[in-house]
Amino acid sequence: MNDDDGRTTAKFLRGLTMGALVGAVLAGSSIWTRRHRAGSRHAEVRADALTRDSPPTPERPTPR
């Protein structure tokens, strides 16, 4: 293996590593966004259920 082959291999491995890191960041971001959106929807459903099942208060009178 000559010096030029070593540089080519190193360059390839750097590119491969950078591609893997960028791909991991994108995938993680996508997963994070989906979980955050799903959590927000679940929180709204829970809040609605709590409001519906709670007794009325002066700040929140009984809905008509």
Instruction: Express each pLDDT in 13-54 by its tens digit.
Output: 999 999 999 999 999 999 999 888 887 766 666 666 666 666
Token pair 């491969």: residue: 16
58 confidence band (pLDDT: 50, 70, 90): low
Answer for the pair 37, 43: CB distance below 8 angstroms, yes or no.
Answer: no
∠ CA 48-52-54, nearest 5°, is 115
Distance set, CA 15 to CA 1, 5, 22, 27 (Å) = 20, 15, 10, 18
Report pLDDT for 14.
97
Show the tokens assigned to 35.
Answer: 């979980």
Q: How far apart are CA 9 and CA 15, in angstroms?
A: 10
> Do 17 and 24 touch, CB atoms closer than 8 A?
no
